[in-house]
Each structure stands twice: as C-alpha cells, then as structure tokens.
C-alpha cells in the first residue's frame, strides 16, 4: 500500500493525525505528511498500518489522502 497527500487539497485540519497518529503528522506549514519512519524503503506503508491509513483517508474532510495498492 502506498499513500499520497494532495497538498492543494490539504487544509491542515489534522484529522489524519488524530485518526492515525502513528502514520501522519503536520509539518511546519500545517500540511499533513507521512511520518518518515513509517514508510519502507520501497515507499510503501506496512500492512500493519493499513486500517489506520484507510480510516484517515475516509475521515479526511478534503479527501486529500490517496491510497494505491
């Protein structure tokens, strides 16, 4: 599973961070980003975080999180 965040859509509401704090955080510009330690060397997110990522993507008020498999 790979995830992406559309910076043009992200409003920095921090819903993703609240729903999946092990995966997302806000940067210094209040934009969501994936925590570096979570991403594998091939750019994928471990399956153990899948439920959190899916919940965050569904809960994002601007639908700024994209999931690809």
Domain range for 10 is 2-68
Q: How many domains does the chain have?
A: 1
Task: Please give the average per-residue pLDDT across 22-35, as a whole number.
Answer: 96
Average pLDDT over residues 26-32: 96
Alpha helices in the chain (DSSP H): 15-19, 50-59
User: Per the structure block, which two tokens stand in for 66?
Assistant: 């994209």
Residue 55 belongs to domain with CATH number: 3.30.70.20
Task: Tell me how far apart the alpha carbons of residues 67 and 20 are, in angstroms, rounded to a whole number.
Answer: 14
Among 3-12, 37-46, 48-57, name the one with the lowest average pLDDT.
Answer: 37-46
Please work out, in degrees rounded to the nearest 5, the angle formed at the alpha carbon of residue 62 by the alpha carbons of 66 and 43: 25
DSSP category for residue 48: G
Mean confidence (pLDDT) of the chain: 95
């Amino acid at each position: 599973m790979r995830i992406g965040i559309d910076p043009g859509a992200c409003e920095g509401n921090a819903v993703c961070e609240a729903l999946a704090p092990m995966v997302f955080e806000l940067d210094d510009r209040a934009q969501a980003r994936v925590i570096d330690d979570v991403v594998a060397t091939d750019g994928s997110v471990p399956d153990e975080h899948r439920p959190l990522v899916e919940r965050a993507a569904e809960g994002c008020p601007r639908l700024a999180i994209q999931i690809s498999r």
